Structure 1
């Protein structure tokens, strides 16, 4: 099995495995810069953390990446930049974002990957990359992990550039 997801169009990919999701993330991670914001949206088990593991790999992070469900924020050291990883699942009020460290990280020295951030889209601003991950359960064979549909919705010129660069890396 190839480690590259299938490109359906310039903004949409189908991943048949965890490895393909991580490879897409790794290619994305190579493109991220300080100040970039990536908001990951999808149900439990959709692949948000797998994509984040790939992003971290693409940035040269060697630590084990897990979803910071209880700590809310993790900071990983990459080769050139740190990666700020948030899981906002347990937050419900925009005022909690400051206590969680979101504002500090957004204006810091690395990109931010935010799981469950869609509920705070107004607060996170207009310059970000929204990524939607969907399990294709109806297409799955019994006993096998279903494929994922991964769709990129760029908000702003920087995010549009990232999506175009990412598409150019996958034939």
Structure 2
């Protein structure tokens, strides 16, 4: 799924709408639900060569591939106003793809065209239910993974 999404977004220069600015993907899910694994798959599909790790302590990691990839983790953000200190708005307006783990901590800062991706785990830790929502369109996929 990450590879399909990467192919679609990279053909548009990262833009979900085909315009100049890039796509924003908001990832939601509990610890260990597969958010970082999803970003790793997305990065691989975009041709990123360096290791992709969770930016829990750095807040932001940037990668180069077929289009720029920004990986944010807002787990340690307790107040959306803290986002001013990391230049959050400029990342949202940048070309490429910006992926935000724990995006709910951004409050109302996310643009209206953000694609929301929800990761759910069940009793089988090798399976995930992934729901994607962008505007009125929602897709639900059950994914089996070792992560």
TM-score greater than 0.5 by the shorter chain: yes
Structure-2-length-normalised TM-score: 0.81
| Residue of 31, 34, 37 corresponding to 1:47 | 34
Deviation, 1:125, is: 2.1
Structure 1 segment 152-167 matched on structure 2, within 5 A: 152-155=132-135
User: Which residue number in structure 1 is paired with residue 144 of structure 2?
Assistant: none
User: Which consecutive unaligned segments of at least 5 residues does structure 1 have?
Assistant: 1-23
Deviation, 1:96, is: 1.3
User: Which residue number in structure 1 is paired with residue 23 of structure 2?
Assistant: 36
User: Which consecutive aligned stretches of 4+ in structure 1 deviate over 4 angstroms post-superposition?
Assistant: none
User: Which residue number in structure 2 is paired with residue 6 of structure 1?
Assistant: none
The alignment partner of 2:5 has SS state of: helix
Q: How many pairs align? A: 130
User: Which consecutive unaligned segments of at least 5 residues does structure 2 have?
Assistant: 16-21, 142-147
Query: Take 2:135 and 2:47, find their aligned partners in 1: how far apart are those partners?
Result: 26
Deviation, 1:42, is: 0.3
The alignment partner of 2:83 has SS state of: helix
User: Which residue number in structure 1 is paired with residue 90 of structure 2?
Assistant: 104
Structure 1 segment 32-111 matched on structure 2, within 5 A: 32=9, 33-34=14-15, 35-79=22-66, 81-111=67-97
Structure 1 segment 128-139 matched on structure 2, within 5 A: 128-137=114-123
Query: Take 1:121 and 1:153, find their aligned partners in 2: how far apart are those partners?
Result: 17
User: Which residue number in structure 1 is paired with residue 3 of structure 2?
Assistant: 26
Flag the 1:90–1:42 CA change in 2: closer, same or farther, 3 A: same
Flag the 1:25–1:121 CA change in 2: closer, same or farther, 3 A: farther
Q: CA RMSD in A?
A: 1.9
Check conservation: 2:74, 2:106, Cα contact below 8 A.
Answer: no
The alignment partner of 1:51 has SS state of: helix
Query: Take 1:67 and 1:155, find their aligned partners in 2: how far apart are those partners?
Result: 27
Structure-1-length-normalised TM-score: 0.70
Structure 1 or 2, whichever has the larger Rg, is: 1
